[in-house]
């Protein structure tokens, strides 16, 4: 993965924008990664991946709760309990 210092990213911003169309670019400050810049397409793909993963986890959790006999009413009481 290509790496730019924060200063280089600032002074070579146009080049940075061109590069992220091909691959993610790390931004470092004081030899520490402070960010990664990606193309809109890569960002959307990552967002969709994690959204799909979350939907799958929620579906499997709901299925396990239903198999265990947890009702909506019991869940409501459980979530309302502030103690």
Residues 11-64 have pLDDT tens digits of 999 999 999 999 999 999 999 999 999 999 999 999 999 999 999 999 998 899
pLDDT for 75 equals: 81
Q: How far is CA 13 from CA 25, 30, 48, 49, in A?
A: 12, 19, 27, 28
Band of residue 2 on the pLDDT scale cut at 50, 70, 90: very high
Percent helix, strand, coil in the chain, to 5, is: 60, 20, 20
**pLDDT category, 83, cuts 50, 70, 90?**
low
């Amino acid at each position: 993965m290509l790496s730019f210092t924060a200063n280089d990213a600032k002074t070579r911003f146009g080049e940075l924008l061109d590069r992220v169309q091909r691959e993610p670019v790390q931004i470092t400050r004081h030899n520490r990664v402070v960010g990664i810049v990606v193309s809109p397409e890569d960002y959307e793909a990552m967002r969709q991946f994690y959204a799909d993963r979350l939907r799958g986890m929620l579906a499997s959790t709901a299925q396990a709760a239903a198999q265990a006999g947890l009702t909506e009413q019991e869940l409501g009481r459980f979530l309302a309990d502030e103690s």
